[in-house]
């Protein structure tokens, strides 16, 4: 028999309060156990960059630092980090005393193992849902690691992943596709349609600075929280700034970076920035104002010889499934667009939009 025990998950107050990332507590526990940050993030299966980004994003969400890093002294937990760890341990002990463990029979030995795929991809909320909710029911195990779009494509080209996830703008932006095409070869790679989504300005509730366009960021000298260099969102933001005649380096906070859409939204929600650029669904999840500036297409790249192999065929079926469509309908600003279809390069990189009607 397999024994299951209950665990504690924390979330902010309210019916739609954001949840604390499940990876945070194991990471804090590893740091509290004396591990340096490099060892601690490895223990929870994260890269150093994403581990540090997780700590920073959760601190922004909670409004208090969780770790203290000092040169020559390594990283330690702050009083808030210690308290969160101790309160969780105490709550779990009390829960175990009151809630009986559940025993279930294991699957028969003949049960098929899930097909496994390694995906390096730009951060996306629908992709998270695909990994956590859709893929397991389809007999798939997705080892998903978030990177910037260009970093994901470079990693894929180097043979470190089965697929790369990246996104491209659908508007007319001369030269915008060149950085992506550097890593993709029509004879060697195939492209799978995933979703289309809205990108734009995230702003505090009620838009107190009355931002109407990108130029207001500079004119009103607003504090900006940016995405990391090499991410598709940062490339698009820089492109839009250039087309608007705005020097990004002159913006307050331009060099301050986060690694996910949710981290950008959390920073603004915490009052530490006045504006950021990201997807609509992340902004609305944190109760922010949102102004759409561009629509974009999210694609998955695979190797030509693997496109018809069982694992990728099953992935394409999962992406095209009614369950995935339900996920997209729950994400504001998202739409299905040739979801799960193998696309020619000309079709994938066209600027025309397509797909189901978006939920706004």
Distance between CA atoms of residues 166 and 151, nearest Å: 10
In a domain, residue 229? The reply is yes
* Residue that is last in its domain, among 72, 98, 124: 98
Coil, strand or helix: which one is 13? coil
In a domain, residue 19? The reply is yes
Q: For residues 339 and 355, is the Cβ–Cβ distance under 8 A?
A: yes
* CATH number for the domain that contains residue 72: 1.10.10.10
Residues 271, 239 share a domain:
yes
Residues 61, 165 share a domain:
no
Structural domains in the chain (count): 2
Domain extent at residue 165: 115-348
Nearby residues of 93 by Cβ (< 8 Å), 6 or more positions away: none
**pLDDT score, position 127:** 97
Alpha-helical regions (H) of 167-260:
178-181, 215-219, 232-243
Q: Which residue, 270, 272, 227, 269, is CA-closest to 248? A: 227
In a domain, residue 354? The reply is no
**pLDDT score, position 2:** 66
In a domain, residue 357? The reply is no
pTM of the model: 0.68
**pLDDT score, position 355:** 41
pLDDT less than 70: residues of the chain: 1-3, 15-16, 72, 99-111, 352-360
Residues 148, 88 share a domain:
no
**pLDDT score, position 6:** 73
* Residue that is last in its domain, among 46, 66, 98: 98
**pLDDT score, position 53:** 87
Q: For residues 325 and 336, is the Cβ–Cβ distance under 8 A?
A: yes
């Amino acid at each position: 028999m397999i024994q299951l025990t209950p665990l504690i998950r924390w979330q902010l107050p309210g019916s739609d309060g954001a949840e604390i990332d499940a990876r945070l507590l194991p990471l804090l526990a590893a740091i509290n156990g004396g591990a340096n940050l490099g060892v601690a993030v490895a223990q929870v299966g994260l890269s150093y960059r994403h581990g540090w980004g997780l700590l920073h994003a959760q601190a922004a969400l909670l409004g208090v630092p969780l770790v203290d890093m000092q040169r020559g002294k390594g990283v330690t937990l702050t009083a808030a980090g210690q308290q969160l760890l101790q309160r969780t341990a105490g709550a779990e002990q009390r829960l175990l005393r009151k809630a009986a463990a559940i025993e279930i029979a294991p699957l028969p030995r003949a049960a098929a193992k899930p097909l496994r795929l390694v995906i390096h991809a730009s951060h996306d909320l629908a992709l998270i849902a695909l990994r956590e909710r859709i893929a397991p029911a389809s007999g798939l195990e997705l080892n998903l690691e978030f990177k910037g779009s260009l970093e994901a494509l470079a990693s894929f080209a180097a043979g470190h992943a089965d697929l790369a996830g990246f996104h491209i703008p659908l508007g007319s932006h001369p030269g915008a596709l060149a950085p992506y095409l550097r890593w993709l070869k029509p004879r060697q790679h195939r492209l799978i349609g995933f979703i289309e989504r809205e990108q734009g300005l995230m702003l505090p509730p009620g838009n107190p600075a009355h931002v109407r366009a990108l130029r207001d960021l500079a004119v009103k000298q607003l504090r900006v929280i940016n995405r990391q260099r090499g991410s598709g969102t940062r490339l698009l933001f820089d492109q839009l700034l250039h087309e608007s005649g705005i020097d990004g380096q002159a913006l307050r906070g331009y060099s301050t970076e986060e690694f996910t859409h949710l981290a950008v939204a959390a920073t603004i929600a915490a009052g530490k920035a006045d504006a950021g650029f990201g997807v609509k669904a992340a902004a609305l999840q944190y109760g922010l104002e949102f102004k759409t500036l561009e629509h974009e297409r999210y694609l998955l790249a695979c190797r030509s010889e693997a496109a018809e192999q069982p694992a990728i065929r099953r992935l394409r079926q999962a992406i095209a499934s009614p369950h995935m469509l339900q996920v997209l309908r729950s994400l504001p600003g998202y739409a299905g667009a040739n979801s799960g279809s193998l696309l020619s390069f000309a079709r994938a990189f066209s600027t025309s939009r397509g797909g189901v009607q978006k939920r706004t």
